[in-house]
């Protein structure tokens, strides 16, 4: 039996069928994200660069994924604790790491880790890349890098430098600086960059290397004195500060990078979804402006691009560790 519909009813039925077809053809990211909330683990105490970056992108991720985004600090062991925690998490896209070169590609050369982060984590998206700043406490009688080197070589006073943990780029930068200047500066490792920086501000330690992002508030307030940056060119926000290369330290170029990682085994669909959400955050005027203010280079791209970059960093940092003769303190 054939059923005929009046003209208006036929048009309504056609519209309904078209709507269903459009819905069926909608991209997968229109579906709800398969988690009650997204946990971003920062493997350092509050106040460090990873913590700053995680909290910077969290509101945008919450909007893109339409679910609560929680930043959880799991610091300790030079980021190894938080990094392993995420690597062992269920690969369901609900727990990710805001990691950096320290925890992912450097520590594997210094610590007897229970897993290899390069194999146990899946790169999702790069978030930031920024140089370090060599800075001193204001009571140190040096306002330029040559003045600091002269002071260190005089041997009149023993000096020490702080870092957020053995194997961090800040630690390796200090060891390379010792080799380049032929000086003996005692390394004082802390459980994170924030407490390390606070002790330089307080005068318990005389100097350190720190990212442009974390150091900016202290530098602007005059609580520390920046002497040089480690980028290939002068850093945004530090244009009056020379690079290490400009100051006579050839090839002294170190960039700290940060990115989102998921446990290995996370599906392509979830990684692609997370990558798109992170890239959307980085493209927002608020986040982009803040990253520029913090001295970060512009970064973005697919998960595959970030994965290839991470793979290329493995031999580079292995060589830096060997050249610096860095040891776990």
| DSSP states of 160-188 | EEEESSTTSHHHHHHHHHHHHHT---EEE
Residues 66 and 108 in one domain: yes
Task: Confirm whether 12 is domain-assigned.
Answer: no
Residues 139 and 234 in one domain: yes
Interval 130-164: pLDDT, tens? 999 999 999 999 999 999 999 999 988 899 999 98
303 near 123, Cβ under 8 Å?
Answer: yes
Residues 124 and 265 in one domain: yes
- Pick the last residue of a domain from 247, 271, 289: 247
Task: Confirm whether 303 is domain-assigned.
Answer: yes
Closest to 101 measured CA to CA, from 77, 79, 134: 79
Interval 89-111: pLDDT, tens? 999 999 999 999 999 999 999 99
- Pick the last residue of a domain from 247, 266, 285: 247
Task: Report residue 8's pLDDT band, with 50, 70 and 90 as the boundaries.
Answer: very low
Task: Confirm whether 220 is domain-assigned.
Answer: yes
116 near 105, Cβ under 8 Å?
Answer: no
Residues 233 and 313 in one domain: no
Residues 94 and 202 in one domain: no
Quickly list H helices, the chain: 7-25, 49-65, 80-87, 101, 117-120, 145-154, 169-181, 193-202, 212-220, 268-283, 285-293, 303-324
**Parent domain of 193:** 131-247
Residues 150 and 238 in one domain: yes
């Amino acid at each position: 039996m054939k059923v005929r519909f009046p003209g208006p009813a036929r048009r309504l039925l056609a519209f309904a069928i078209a709507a269903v077809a459009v819905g069926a053809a909608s991209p997968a990211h229109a579906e709800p994200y398969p988690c009650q909330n997204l946990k971003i683990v920062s493997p350092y105490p509050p106040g460090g660069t990873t913590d700053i970056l995680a909290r910077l992108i969290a509101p945008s991720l919450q909007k893109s994924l339409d679910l609560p985004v929680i930043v959880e600090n799991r610091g300790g062991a030079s980021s190894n604790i938080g990094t392993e925690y995420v690597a062992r998490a269920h690969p369901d896209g609900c727990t990710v790491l805001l990691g950096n070169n320290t925890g992912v590609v450097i520590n594997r050369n210094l610590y007897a880790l229970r897993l290899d982060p390069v194999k146990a984590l899946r790169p999702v998206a790069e978030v930031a890349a920024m140089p370090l700043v060599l800075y001193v406490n204001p009571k140190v009688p040096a306002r330029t890098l040559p003045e600091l080197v002269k002071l260190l070589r005089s041997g009149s006073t023993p000096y020490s430098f702080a870092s957020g943990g053995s194997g961090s780029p800040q630690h390796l930068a200090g060891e390379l600086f010792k080799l380049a200047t032929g000086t003996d500066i005692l390394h004082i490792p802390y459980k994170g960059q924030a407490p390390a920086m606070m002790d330089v501000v307080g005068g318990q330690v005389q100097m350190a290397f720190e990212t442009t992002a974390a150091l900016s508030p202290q530098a602007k307030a005059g609580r520390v004195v920046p002497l040089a940056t480690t980028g290939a060119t002068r850093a945004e926000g530090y244009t009056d500060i020379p690079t290490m290369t400009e100051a006579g330290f050839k090839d002294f170029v170190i960039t700290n990078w940060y990115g989102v990682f998921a446990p290995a085994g996370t599906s392509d669909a979830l990684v692609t979804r997370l990558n798109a959400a992170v890239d959307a955050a980085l493209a927002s005027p608020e986040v982009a402006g803040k990253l520029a203010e913090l001295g970060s280079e512009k970064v973005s791209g697919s998960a595959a691009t970030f994965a290839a970059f991470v793979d290329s960093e493995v031999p580079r940092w292995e060589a830096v560790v060997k050249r610096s003769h860095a040891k776990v303190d």
